A = this chain, B = another copy of it.
Amino acid sequence: MTSFPQAAPPSRNTSPSTPDKPFLRTLAGLPSSRPPLWLMRQAGRYLPEYREIRAKAGSFLELCYSPELATEVTLQPIRRFGFDAAILFADILLVPQALGQGLAFRENEGPVLEAIRTAGELVRLDPKGIHQKLAPVYEAVSRIKAGLPKDCALIGFAGAPWTVATYMLEGRGSSDHAAAKTWAFGNPAGLDTLMEILIEATAAYLERQIEAGAEAVQLFDTWAGVLPEQEFRRFCIEPARRIIGRLKDKYPQVPVIAFPRGAGVLYDGYAAATGADVLGLDYTVPLGWARDHLWPKTVLQGNLDPRLLVVGGPALAEGVHRLLRSFPERRFIFNLGHGIVPETPIRHVEELVRLVKGAEVSA
């Protein structure tokens, strides 16, 4: 539920109690003439100015850990497209690295972690010690906040424990998530131990992002869709509920967006149980079903297929209008149903911005 208690403003967060940025107004359930717009992975390889900074940074990790460069790439899509929210540029695997797990990004291969093979190895992970390593991220958040246009909100983020665990246990991306699912079925108590560590680290990481200036946070559970119901409840819903509960205790006015990609039918139980203010819909979620089952519970965000943004033309316009018709006026944030892909033409993003902002006139 969207709940913005007006009393007792937070001690360190700088957001006003009555939000004036369009993105935050929508999250607070206030009316708006059009849905606010941002795109998952909006700072990325489809932008020539990103590729230039990326080349200059040396490695992907150096880019993540440079407050100056991370700020620059976060702000690039805001300058170019005027999105209603910026999202911190970082990677979900910075948390395992801060916990002490070895991490490398190899060109054309993606991230490689030193996989955890046994529950005994979990004692090496220290959730209390993460902030020193993650300090450059918090520094980036402060710089981004200072550099944002006044009507643009700043979103912090983290990977959800299950998704982060799939990489920690497998060592790398995989198509079947065999290692993590083997823990989920064969050693659920061991996986619970890892979940405890990740719940603690993720909540602490997001708290520091909020303290540095993030006005909302998003929890990405990219691999939520590979678990059966029982394991989904234990390793996706329960950790999200606890992280959100902890954030709400401390920063009740900061909205939390949760994105359990691929949850299917279980989006419903997730919305009901986690306390997320906003549910991010992947592109497979039917809009009529979402309106009937999820919209009464939370603000919704999504869910244009990123491939439609590559294709462009009348198909893109039709997809955009279908979304605008399905969630008229408010309690909806326009976004993709997954991250923008590198081959997306910039002119299609420009067209999307025109279509969504043009909705202002016709709404």
- A residues contacting B by CB (< 8 A) are 175-176, 178, 181-182, 185-186, 188, 225-230, 232, 262, 264-266, 283-287, 289, 303, 305, 307-308, 310-311, 313, 315, 319, 322, 337, 341
**Alpha-carbon separation in the docked complex, A315 to B189 (Å):** 12
Note all chain B residues with C-beta closer than 8 A to A305. 181, 185, 228
B313 touches A186 (CB 8 A): yes
Query: A307, B182: Cβ atoms under 8 Å?
Result: yes
Tell me how far the C-beta of A4 lies from the nearest C-beta in chain B, rounded to whole angstroms.
30
**Alpha-carbon distance between A311 and B182 when the two chains are bound, in angstroms:** 6
Closest CB in chain B relative to A285 CB, distance in Å? 7
Of B226, B286, B287, B307, the contact of A185 (CB 8 Å cutoff): B307
Residue contact B284 to A176, C-beta cutoff 8 Å: no
- Contacting residues, chain B, for A186 (C-beta < 8 A): 311, 313, 315
Once A175-B175, A265-B264, A289-B265 are accepted as A-B contacts, the answer to whether A225 and B284 lie under 8 Å apart by CB is: yes
CB neighbours of A313 from chain B (8 A) = 186
Residues of B within 8 A of A322 (CB): 230
Q: Are B226 and A284 in contact (CB under 8 A)?
A: yes
**9 A-B pairs closest in CB distance:** A264-B264, A186-B311, A229-B286, A185-B311, A181-B307, A185-B315, A265-B289, A228-B283, A185-B308
Q: By CB atoms of chain B within 10 A, which of A175, A265, A289 has the most?
A: A265
CA distance A264 to B281 in the complex (A): 13
Compute how far the CA of A228 lies from the CA of B318 in the bound complex, rounded to whole angstroms.
Answer: 13
> What are the residues of chain B within 8 A of A181 when measuring CB–CB?
305, 307
Residues of the B chain whose Cβ atoms lie less than 8 Å from the Cβ of A337:
228
Stoichiometry (number of copies): 2
Residues of chain B within 8 A of A315, CB atoms compared: 185-186, 188
Enumerate chain B residues within 8 angstroms of A319, measured Cβ to Cβ.
185, 228
CA distance A181 to B341 in the complex (A): 13
A230 proximity list for chain B (CB < 8 A): 322
CB distance from A300 to the nearest CB of B (A): 14
Q: Is the CB of A284 within 8 A of B228?
A: yes
Is A286 touching B308 in the complex (CB atoms < 8 A)? no
Q: Point out the residues of chain B lying under 8 angstroms from A285, CB to CB.
A: 264-265
Sample of 20 further A-B pairs with CB below 8 A, known A176-B307, A181-B307: A182-B311, A185-B307, A185-B311, A185-B315, A186-B311, A186-B315, A225-B284, A228-B284, A228-B303, A228-B319, A229-B287, A230-B322, A232-B284, A262-B262, A262-B264, A264-B264, A264-B265, A265-B286, A265-B289, A266-B284
Select from chain B the residue with minimum beta-carbon distance to A316. Answer: B185
- A54 → chain B, closest Cβ, in Å? 21
Q: Report the nearest B residue to A178, measured CB to CB.
A: B307
